[in-house]
Copies of this chain bind each other. A is one copy, B any other.
Amino acid sequence: MPRPLNDTFLRACLRQPTAYTPLWLMRQAGRYLPEYNAARARAGSFMGLATSPDFATEVTLQPLERYALDAAILFSDILTVPDAMGLGLSFAAGEGPRFARPLRDEAAVAALRVPDLDRLNYVFEAVRSIRKALGGRVPLIGFAGSPWTLACYMVEGAGSDDYRIVKSMLYARPDLMHRILDINAKAVAAYLNAQIDAGAQAVMLFDSWGGVLADGAFQRFSLEYTRRVVAALEREHDGERVPSIVFTKGGAPWLEQIAACGADVVGLDWSVDLGAARRRVDDRVALQGNLDPAVLFAPPEVVAAEARAVLDSFGRAQRDDGGCGGHVFNLGHGINQHTPPEHVTALVEAVHAHSRALRAAD
């Protein structure tokens, strides 16, 4: 498979010069789009979308029809992996995900195994189908949850406000927690490599709940297992580099350490100035982010101004020493379901126009 026609995203991930700053949006195929809601209604449920390669292809491409985004991301869910481990995933209407068989005792943890990847074939089929449908327009990003973030759901059995159950296990029985994380790391690495084999041209690890951990615990229970996953990833496929992105929501306090985990790109939430973040990592990785998704509730001219401010904070990609920084524009979190779709148009136009102007002024 050849490089995509628009490889700006891949180049930015690898800190190569680009004509403008590429952007995509976390959860870009989502409930803010009427066409997504229509497809979901036809599919019957969220998992009906995610488990059907046809539906997954359809909704993955929806935002690309509307907006000049520079990457597609596989439509799926991070909980496919623990579901394949037999924990029994369901999404109740109006609620978040729920596992029928959460890991609550030593016996359940002892019985946990790396799942047979055949149980996730629907995901790899979706990747192949999306690649075909994209026809090389833009690259396709695959993804998975981080070992720690998956463990939160697997132990809590659902979302949580205080992570009481999983943190109780972490502090009281770190041996059990390490066993879960070790299995998750192996499963996630195999899962992402299978996505790469199926055609994913970059992969992203969502450490959505790394930020709830205390300093010290984050390094031992989240970052260490993220590092193991990244180390096990295929770096190249069909002669092309496959960049990896790690995003820890709330991870700003640990930016330098996350940047040293082996990933090509570090995702940032909106709590940090990109320029300051860039100085902290000295362009050893590319940065992805970091507009507050709430900006998209403001009028289009405010959206454009805030997008320009993010681009300005990153500054010139070109370094004085001849090297290059990398910036992939994104939100600092998934796009909110109440976002007016036309505000996204303003965002995309502002990012492309202003970053082209910045390059031209170089």
A residues with a Cβ closer than 8 A to B are 162-164, 167-168, 170-172, 211, 213-218, 250, 252-253, 270-273, 290-295, 297-299, 302, 306, 309, 332, 336, 338
Contact = CB atoms under 8 A, between A and B. Distances in A.
A171 B273 contact: no
A249 to B, nearest CB: 11
Contact of A297 (B167, B270, B332): B167
Contacts of A252: 252-253
A248 to B, nearest CB: 11
A252 B302 CA distance: 27
Contacts of A270: 213-215
B253 A272 contact: yes
Given A168-B297, A172-B297, A253-B253, 16 more contacts: A164-B297, A167-B294, A167-B295, A167-B297, A172-B298, A213-B292, A214-B270, A214-B290, A214-B291, A214-B295, A214-B332, A215-B271, A250-B250, A252-B252, A253-B271, A253-B272
Contacts of A271: 211, 213-215, 218, 250, 253
Contacts of A162: 293-294, 336
B253 A294 contact: no
User: Nearest 7 CB-CB pairs, A to B?
Assistant: A167-B294, A171-B298, A214-B270, A168-B297, A214-B292, A172-B298, A252-B253
Contact of A171 (B164, B215, B294): B294
A323 B332 CA distance: 41
B302 A171 contact: yes
A167, A213, A218, most chain B CB atoms within 10 A: A167
Contacts of A211: 271
A117 to B, nearest CB: 34
B338 A294 contact: no
B306 A171 contact: yes
Contacts of A297: 164, 167-168, 171-172
B338 A164 contact: yes
Contacts of A167: 292, 294-295, 297
A299 to B, nearest CB: 6
A294 B292 CA distance: 28
